[in-house]
Amino acid sequence: MKVKCIKLLDNLTREPLESSSWLSVGREYQVLSVLITNSCPVEYRLIANDGQIPAMYKADQFEMISNVLPLNWVVSYDADSYFELAPKSWITPGFWEAYFDGEPEAIQLFNTEKNIIFKQNT
């Protein structure tokens, strides 16, 4: 699944931005996961302009350019709180904390799944 950034919005105020160090209007991004929660609209996990940090961005800043779903995505769902499409290892409780804490096993899992997603959509 790929998206193209069509506008930049402030995360808190939702006001338009002229520029961002994270995203660029017109640039295409590979979607690594999709999250929908009761408290937030649809969000995509993407690797931003730095080419390294996977972060969540509200989907209203993008248009879909490829709707092909990665083969390694699974559904995680709780009727009272969220719906998520992502690699199974990423939805394991504590995965993202371990990843951002720099734990080697989590980093390896992230890179393995990310590579599957990117290879499928090149």
Phi, psi at residue 119, to the nearest 5°? -65, -35
Q: Which residues of 96-112 are buried (b: 16+ CB within 10 A; e: fewer)?
A: bebbeeeeeebeebbee
Question: What's the confidence (pLDDT) of residue 87?
Answer: 98
Phi, psi at residue 52, to the nearest 5°? -135, -45
pLDDT higher than 80, residue 118: yes
Q: Which of 11-15, 48-52, 58-62, 114-118 has the lowest mean pLDDT?
A: 11-15
**Residue 10 pLDDT grade (very low, low, confident, very high; cuts 50, 70, 90):** confident
Angstrom CA distances, 63 to 3, 29, 72, 85, stand at 5, 10, 22, 18
Q: Cα separation of 61 and 84, whole Å? A: 19
Domain hosting residue 79, numbered range: 2-120
State how far Cα 105 lies from the chain centre.
20
Overall domain count for the chain: 1
pLDDT higher than 90, residue 34: yes
Q: Cα separation of 101 and 85, whole Å? A: 23
The helix (run of H) or strand (run of E) holding residue 106 is: helix 104-120
pLDDT higher than 80, residue 121: no
Question: What's the confidence (pLDDT) of residue 101?
Answer: 98
Query: What does the mean pLDDT of the chain come to?
Result: 94
For the segment 70-104, what is each residue's pLDDT rounded down to a tens digit? Answer: 999 999 999 889 999 999 999 999 999 999 999 99
